[in-house]
Amino acid sequence: MPTDARCLVETAESSATVRLTGVLDRAGVDAVRGALLGRLWARPGPMVVDLSGVRIPDPQAREALDEVGRAVADWPATDLLFVSGDRPVPRPADAPPELLDVELLPVVEAAREARALVTDGCARWGLPELAEPACIAVTEMVNNVVAHAATPMTLRLAPRGGALHVAVRDHAAGRPTYAGPAPVDSVGGRGLLLIDVVARRWGSTALPDGKVVWCVLHAEDEAAFRN
């Protein structure tokens, strides 16, 4: 998968290892970042990026790679590891990641389908206390796509420890911005506030052809709230 005249991102459909070769400078950062993010979403699970074949003369270019890792740290069923030098490239586990996902159209019924998947996942993974807050969050995430992006979307969720990681990927460039609580007399504008209330963390990641909006809910937070 070529991304820049001086840096290549080499992938294979059956492999969880990606190899960068050539020279990565600031001019090639955006293309490489987009390629890695796209690959991470398309192939859930752990991914290893082998840097042994690439030269990165600019510290800002190396920082941009680290930023990719930070950007996907809370995506469902995603783990990113950079390796370089003489260190052997680890082999990711062959077992498929534990996750649920569904493709949704930008229609009002999408939120109901999303809630059904979340309820199923919480029951399956022993996180029943997160079903209600996660349904609140996913309803707002999906409805935002319906109202503003108007593109097909993918809902993905996965457990990690005592937390539920939820993400919605659409194909529109605009990213959500949260300006704090809306005035009591305003109409609308409370969707992101609801996500902010029920989730410990949430955010969005730009992709070359859209974005991923994600949130993380912890069972211990819900238990503390109920007590």
Structure token digits, residue 186: 């305003």
Rounded CA gap, 99 and 9, in Å? 26
Residue with tokens 């949704």: 104
| pLDDT value for 175 | 79
Residue type, position 43, single letter: R
DSSP 83-97: E-TTSPPPPPPSSPP
Q: Quick check: pTM over 0.85?
A: yes
- Given a contact cutoff of 8 angstroms between Cβ atoms, the answer to whether 141 and 215 are in contact is yes
Residues 6+ apart with CB under 8 A from 27: 4, 6
| pLDDT value for 184 | 40
Q: How many residues make up the chain in this entry?
A: 227
Residue with tokens 């969005």: 204
Strand residues in the chain grouped as ranges (E) = 2-4, 7-10, 17-23, 45-55, 78-83, 100-104, 153-160, 163-170, 201-207, 210-218
| pLDDT value for 6 | 82
| pLDDT value for 225 | 66
Rounded CA gap, 224 and 227, in Å? 5
Residues 6+ apart with CB under 8 A from 158: 44, 76, 77, 97, 98, 99, 100, 121, 164, 165
Residue by residue, pLDDT tens for the chain (227 residues) are 544 448 899 988 778 899 999 999 999 999 999 999 999 999 999 999 999 999 999 999 999 999 999 999 999 999 999 998 766 666 655 667 899 999 999 999 999 999 999 999 999 999 999 999 999 999 999 999 999 999 999 999 999 999 999 999 999 998 776 655 544 443 344 568 899 999 999 999 999 999 999 999 999 987 666 65
Nearest 5°: CA angle at 32, between 27 and 37?
140
Structure token digits, residue 205: 């990641």
Rounded CA gap, 88 and 81, in Å? 12
Rounded CA gap, 169 and 138, in Å? 12
Rounded CA gap, 137 and 156, in Å? 13
| pLDDT value for 90 | 62
